[in-house]
A = this chain, B = another copy of it.
Amino acid sequence: MSVRLDAIDRKILAELQRDAGQSLDEIARKVGSSKTPVWNRVKKMREGGIIKQTTVLLDAEALGLEACFFVLIRTSEHEAEWQEKFLHALRSRPEVLEAHRLAGDIDYILKVQVSNARAYDVFYQALIQEVRIHNVTALLSMEEIKSTTALPLAG
CA distance A98 to B101 in the complex (A): 18
Q: Which residue of B lies closest to A100 (CB)?
A: B141
Q: Are A141 and B101 in contact (CB under 8 A)?
A: yes
> How many chain copies does the complex carry?
2
Are A149 and B50 neighbours in the complex by a CB distance under 8 Å? no
A139 touches B109 (CB 8 A): yes
Give how many A residues have a beta carbon under 8 Å from the other chain's beta carbons: 67
Q: Closest chain B residue to A153 by CB distance? A: B63
Q: Mark A135-152, 1 if CB is under 8 A from B, else 0.
A: 000011111111111111
Q: Which of A1-59 contact B (CB under 8 A)?
A: 1-3, 5, 13, 16-21, 48-59
Residues of B within 8 A of A94 (CB): 150-152, 154
Can you list 6 A-B contacts (CB < 8 A)? A2-B62, A48-B62, A51-B58, A97-B149, A97-B151, A101-B143
The chain A residues found within 8 Å of chain B, CB to CB, are 1-3, 5, 13, 16-21, 48-65, 68, 70, 87, 90-91, 94-104, 106, 108-109, 113, 115, 139-155
